[in-house]
Amino acid sequence: MKTLLLYIATAITEMVGCYLLLLWLRGQDTDWLLLPAAAFSLAAFAWLLTLHAAPSGRVYAAYGGVYVAVALGWLWSVDGIRPSSWDLVGVVVTLAGMAIIAYQPRL
């Protein structure tokens, strides 16, 4: 459970940083958004990735599945678009893949 929560926190920090940068690039908000996006959110994202015990390639692969799930949560909560049943099936498949990668037996 700790590993999954760490992946979720990692995904949220990346998404916040990228979203703030996207707003800035689109000119939808003031320049003050660029500093927290680059300095805090994306730096926190990189730091959180270092807290995972698995080798980095495995962390990145498993993280991708969690990122998909968090992105669809973002779609609903921030963009106001409810995920379709196809989206939900895709999340289940990606989380199953993430679980296989992240929780495989360590030999």
- In tens, the pLDDT along 29-80 reads 667 767 777 778 888 888 988 888 777 778 888 888 889 999 999 999 998 9
- Residue 20 buriedness (CB in 10 A; 0-12 / 13-18 / 19+): buried
Spatial separation of the C-alpha atoms in residues 25 and 30, rounded to whole Å: 10
Domain that holds residue 21: 2-102
Return all residues near 39 (Cβ < 8 A) that are at least 6 apart.
none
In a domain, 73, yes or no: yes
Number of domains, the chain:
1
Tokens representing residue 15 in the block: 């998404």
Q: Is the pTM of this model over 0.85?
A: no
**Within a domain: residue 107?**
no
